[in-house]
Structure 1
Amino acid sequence: MEKIDGDEKVQSPIDPIIPIDFIPNNEKGPRVTYKFKWVHLLIGAFAIISVTAGWFVLTAKSVFVEIDPITAQIEIEGGFKVRLGQRYLIRSGSYELTLLNDGYHDSVTQLLVSAEQSQTHPFVMRKLPGIISIASDITDGARVQIDGVDIGLTPLNGVLVESGDHQMTISKERYLDYRETISVEGRSVVQRYQASLEPAWATVSLSTVPAGADVLVDGEIFGTTPVNAEILQGRRDLTLKLSGHKAWQDDFDVIAGQDFTIPPVQLEPADGLVFIRSNPSAASLTIGGDFKGLTPLEVALAPGQNHELTFFKNGYHSKKTTIRTQPNQERELNLELDPVLASVSVIAEPVDAELYVNGEFRGLANQSIELMAASQQIEIRKAGYVPYTAEFTSRPGLDQIIRVTLKSLEQARQEQIKPVIATAAGQSLKLFYPSAFTMGASRREAGRRPNENLRDIQLERAFYISYREVSNSEYRLFDSEHSSGIVSGVTLDNEAQPVVRVSWNQGALYCNWLSGQEALPPFYQVNEQDEVVGFNPQSSGYRLPSEAEWAWVARTEGSGNTVRYPWGDQL
């Protein structure tokens, strides 16, 4: 080894390695041996148990199973558990819990132990039903209901009812309902109940003079007088009937348990029954001056005395008669009434018209006829004419005439047509019945134009035409953007001025629009480009007047005379 320090060099001494002889050790060490002893086993088992117990104590939960009732037996299956007083040490998980107690339903349920260190699990056991017996002290066969459920008729024994409060109702015909709230102990405990039913009737004493009358309460027979009838409570209708006597009837209130007596009832002899008819029927009838109704009718009359009957009917002479009846007698009376007649002359056009009176054919209309002095329906008919119908009352002692001129169907139709109508736009149109006229002008007339040839015109259909031209305001209801323009600086576009700058096609479309406003069939047939391509001559809608119609209207006076010019014959 050398050490250099600056310029100095030092030489260290070296130990030499010397070999030696090696001799291995052949000697054997001591052998270890184990001898079994019971104490060692006990110590091991105790150690395992201690470790396991410690692990269980550290991981188990403290569980309190709270049972109602507290006397119940508890069995927990499904794992290891340790009971310490009222608590169990048991690990988390699901266990089967069995609860047993006398008087309660056995219960098997699931016990879920959570991860909480200390926990309580309450359980309530359900009681066994109670055993009850029910009887009524007055009568058997009363119907028993528990909480509205029918359980049978008394007496009842060994009826199972769940514990708790229940509403018991006991009912029997002719008795007041018995109601009681019962508390059932349950747990198979036997309980007995005794019900006392109160009568729902009162005893009513009845007697009549003479005796032997049938007693009916609400239509049900209870016997014959004299009688002590047990009548149910409430508002009751009492009727007493005896042959040959009038029935006696009254209403009264019966209160259960409060007996009472009705004073003796004097029964009157029965009326005689008379069925009265008259010819004709529907005659008014009075008996002794009192109105009884219209025949036919049935009336009851007091027996043993005379009754004056008077019959009245419009158009007939009144008639009187007298009748006498016996008690409980039935008889009939038929009476014929005599009509009051008056002569009436009928004059009708056409002369071959037929006459009907109250729908009955009486011959040709032109005749003198006897009519009752009452309202009669007079009808005069002829084919092709509108029938005449009227109510007529003849007056005896007076000369009376019925004059009728029947209208033909065409005449009646024309009369139904309105002389003036109004459009949806507010224009007024007047009805005209045109006639034949000559249209055009003679060659010798001044101002004649080449196309104004004379020709005969026959207009056959009536038509309406407006009193004036269509105004701007009326046309703008159809075309709101239309303008009639200006001429020589003067406007033609005021609302009341006639509309101008309108083509014939636009006028036709305006007429179709008016028809649509009133749901009338359009006169003009129009294609998709709003061009008129035809017309419907049978349409009742609006249209433009033809040239002939316009000329006839312009040249015809109110008297029907045709003039040369709209203002007259002089140019």
Structure 2
Amino acid sequence: TAQISIDNGTSIKLGQRYLMRTGSYQITLRNEGYHDTVTRLLVSEEQSQTHPFEMRKLPGIVSFDSADLVDARVRIDGVDIGQTPLLNVEVEPGEHQLSIVKDRYLDYGDTINIEGRSVEQSFSASLEQAWATVSLSTTPSGADVLVDGEIIGSTPLNAEIIQGQRDLVLKLAGHKAWQEDYDILAGEDFSVPLVELEPADGLLFIQSNPSAASVTIGGEFKGLTPLEVALAPGENHELTFFKNGYNSNSLSIQTQANEERDITVTLEPILMTVSVMAQPEDAELYVDGQFRGTANQTIELMAASQQIEIRKSGFISYSTEFTSRPGLEQVISVSLKSLEQARLEQIKPMIVSAAGQTLKLFYPGAFTMGASRREAGRRPNENLRDIKLERPFYLGVQEVTNSQYRLFNEEHSSGTLQGLTLDNEAQPVVRITWAQAALFCNWLSDQESLPHFYDVAGEDIVGFNPESTGYRLPTEAEWAWAARTDGSGNQLKYSWGSDLTPAENSGNFADVTARSYLGQILFDYDDGYLATAPVASFEANQYELYDMAGNVSEWVHDFYGAVGSVGGVEVDPLGPTEGQFHTIRGSSWAHGSVTELRLSFRDFGEEVRDDVGFRVARYLEE
């Protein structure tokens, strides 16, 4: 029963109860084995009141030991409180987790209940060993014993090894190390069978001249020099060295235990005679990057793969992997290409545009443009002009078709004529202005990332770049050269020859098919078409170009002008610098007169026509 002291007021004890006035009192509770409790009591006006109080127990007085072991660590609820023997330690009453630990012993753990109230209690733990005794012996003895890399003694040895997966190593100078993994179980002692340590290998450092030679030992490949190998001591080892292009070499080696030796082996090259012939004669010869003199010589080369180069400034170098072979007469014969020759060989004689047009490369020359005043049908604008075309150019083999043009402008229609369509895919595009043809050329350049030839402001062509290699319309001079010259210095009057009457299949002109529609026709010619025919329906001209006469007339690059002779040779002329009209060249399906059928006929225009189309051109990139 607790003793009760009441302060700050009057109270009368009546048996187990107290008579007290209303108010606040400080009371003190005391009881053996418990902490004193000081608290306040509030007495109300009720006649009978009960106030419970709970007192806290004092700690228990506890002692711990670990049987016949000392210095084991004692932990209560994970908190270290000392080491055994541990006497009269205050521990709070209640349930606790006890652990007692010591190196090389298994941990002890238990749940204990402390009574408290200064009651004395004691706990004793018997710790079990965490090792097994492992017996180790070697021949010869005296080897260091390592457990997980730490030396613990030398053989013979009875080693107490802590339980777990352990790495055991035995080392003795002059001998190979012995190693084994063991799963050690506490308390389960065992002996490792006698370990006979083998003599250590000798260490051989091998070099060769030349390096990178293959090395075999006893017929087994070991690697390439320089090389480090371990050899069993006291035995003869046969070493053989190989390298492509060299004679093999063999030797016998014996090493002692733990010995280190260096050897260097020289291999003799296998030399073969090779004849080298080259053009130009003063070209230079290099073998594996080393200069060996002029290329025209007989030279000794190793019977192995070597890099042969023949060089000369201004020429494309020749390079090859060459292997000379014993017993064969071998010759290297090379003719170097000049840089210019190589450049020309890279030039494509034919190209295909992004829209599918085939263009042919031409290297033109000098010719006379226009017609003599005595030529029947000549017009005043056909003055004779001396022209020299120096820049190579590509020219479309065919006229641009409706399908090709509609890749640029899908809404375009070439329309109809007399109930006949001019709008089939393979027919030449018509009813387009010169500017529309030029814009098509710029669009085509865009498809191939080429620079524009024509300068554009809004929808207007405001100039051109003569240095551009993008697509364009052919110049009038280029068109005339491709239509009239024959490559032998002669010039054609008509596409088929010198007489007015066209040969069969010469082209699509104003023929008997069109007599009900056209006023002037060729009565002795029938090409089968009233208006446009599919491109390339008739025979190609002397340069394998189609429809240079007939089918549709063609816009060319030049502004129109009645250009006269300039009194000298015009080089790559591009026409007048300005004008209202552009030049149109070539006859069409609507032409049947002497004037119009001649290849020197020049026309001009500004508006769209159903007998005018175009073909594309571009300069060669140089």
**TM-score relative to the length of structure 1:** 0.70
Structure 1 equivalent of residue 464 of structure 2: 535
Instruction: Tell me, in whole angstroms, the C-alpha distance in 2 between the residues paired with 1:129 and 1:565.
Output: 134
Structure 2 equivalent of residue 49 of structure 1: none
1:452 aligns with 2:382: yes
Structure 1 equivalent of residue 479 of structure 2: 550
Matching residue within 357, 376, 381 for 2:311: 381
Instruction: Tell me, in whole angstroms, the C-alpha distance in 2 between the residues paired with 1:179 and 1:566.
Output: 120
Structure 1 equivalent of residue 358 of structure 2: 429
Structure 1 equivalent of residue 427 of structure 2: 497
Comparing 200-209 and 511-520, the one that deviates more: 511-520
Instruction: Tell me, in whole angstroms, the C-alpha distance in 2 between the residues paired with 1:537 and 1:130.
Output: 111
What per-residue deviation string (whole Å, max 9, x for no partner) do you get for residues 380-413 of structure 1?
2222222222111111232212122222333333
The residue matched to 1:412 in structure 2 has which SS? helix
Q: 1:166 to 1:481 in 2, by over 3 A?
A: farther
AA partner of residue 56 (structure 2): G
| Gaps in structure 2 of 5+ consecutive residues | 1-35, 500-622
Aligned residues: 461
Matching residue within 137, 140, 143 for 2:71: 140
Instruction: Tell me, in whole angstroms, the C-alpha distance in 2 between the residues paired with 1:538 and 1:158.
Output: 109
Q: 1:323 to 1:479 in 2, by over 3 A?
A: same
What per-residue deviation string (whole Å, max 9, x for no partner) do you get for residues 121-164 of structure 1?
xxxxxxx99998876664536485847xx657645889999998
The residue matched to 1:543 in structure 2 has which SS? coil
Contact 1:240-1:249 within 8 A present in 2 as well = yes
Instruction: Tell me, in whole angstroms, the C-alpha distance in 1 between the residues paired with 2:406 and 2:201.
Output: 87
Matching residue within 170, 187, 190 for 1:257: 187
Instruction: Tell me, in whole angstroms, the C-alpha distance in 1 between the residues paired with 2:348 and 2:117.
Output: 99
Shift of 1:374: 0.5
The residue matched to 2:256 in structure 1 has which SS? coil
Structure 1 equivalent of residue 164 of structure 2: 234
**TM-score relative to the length of structure 2:** 0.65
Comparing 402-411 and 191-200, the one that deviates more: 191-200
Percent identity over the alignment? 60
Contact 1:358-1:377 within 8 A present in 2 as well = yes
Instruction: Tell me, in whole angstroms, the C-alpha distance in 2 between the residues paired with 1:370 and 1:198.
Output: 84
Contact 1:343-1:396 within 8 A present in 2 as well = no
Q: 1:483 to 1:278 in 2, by over 3 A?
A: same
Structure 2 equivalent of residue 334 of structure 1: 264
Please list, as runs of the form range in 1=range in 2, the aligned pairs for 1:259-298 lying within 5 A after superposition.
259-298=189-228
Contact 1:512-1:523 within 8 A present in 2 as well = yes
Q: 1:152 to 1:461 in 2, by over 3 A?
A: farther
Shift of 1:285: 1.0
Shift of 1:352: 2.3
The residue matched to 2:269 in structure 1 has which SS? coil
Instruction: Tell me, in whole angstroms, the C-alpha distance in 2 between the residues paired with 1:549 and 1:441.
Output: 13
Q: 1:102 to 1:415 in 2, by over 3 A?
A: farther
Please list, as runs of the form range in 1=range in 2, the aligned pairs for 1:407-426 lying within 5 A after superposition.
407-425=337-355
Comparing 134-143 and 369-378, the one that deviates more: 134-143
Q: Tell me which structure has the larger Cα radius of gyration.
A: 1
Instruction: Tell me, in whole angstroms, the C-alpha distance in 2 between the residues paired with 1:84 and 1:321.
Output: 119
Contact 2:359-2:394 within 8 A present in 1 as well = yes
AA partner of residue 436 (structure 1): G
Structure 2 equivalent of residue 346 of structure 1: 276
Structure 2 equivalent of residue 564 of structure 1: 492
Shift of 1:251: 2.6
Contact 2:76-2:96 within 8 A present in 1 as well = no
Instruction: Tell me, in whole angstroms, the C-alpha distance in 2 between the residues paired with 1:161 and 1:419.
Output: 106
Q: 1:130 to 1:143 in 2, by over 3 A?
A: closer
Structure 2 equivalent of residue 473 of structure 1: 403
Q: 1:207 to 1:471 in 2, by over 3 A?
A: same
The residue matched to 1:413 in structure 2 has which SS? helix
Shift of 1:76: 6.8
| Gaps in structure 1 of 5+ consecutive residues | 1-70, 88-98, 105-127
Contact 1:129-1:186 within 8 A present in 2 as well = yes
Please list, as runs of the form range in 1=range in 2, the aligned pairs for 1:95-174 lying within 5 A after superposition.
101-103=54-56, 138=69, 140=71, 142=73, 144=75, 146=77, 151=80, 154=83, 174=104
Contact 2:72-2:101 within 8 A present in 1 as well = no
Structure 2 equivalent of residue 312 of structure 1: 242
Q: 1:395 to 1:551 in 2, by over 3 A?
A: farther
Instruction: Tell me, in whole angstroms, the C-alpha distance in 1 between the residues paired with 2:60 and 2:237.
Output: 79
Matching residue within 397, 414, 422 for 2:327: 397
Matching residue within 176, 188, 207 for 1:246: 176
Instruction: Tell me, in whole angstroms, the C-alpha distance in 1 between the residues paired with 2:59 and 2:389.
Output: 108
Contact 1:429-1:464 within 8 A present in 2 as well = no
AA partner of residue 102 (structure 1): M
AA partner of residue 544 (structure 1): L
Aligned-pair Cα RMSD in Å: 3.8
Shift of 1:314: 0.2
Instruction: Tell me, in whole angstroms, the C-alpha distance in 1 between the residues paired with 2:240 and 2:496.
Output: 78
Instruction: Tell me, in whole angstroms, the C-alpha distance in 2 between the residues paired with 1:222 and 1:420.
Output: 87
Contact 1:523-1:541 within 8 A present in 2 as well = yes
Instruction: Tell me, in whole angstroms, the C-alpha distance in 2 between the residues paired with 1:452 and 1:130.
Output: 134
Shift of 1:373: 0.6
Shift of 1:556: 6.3
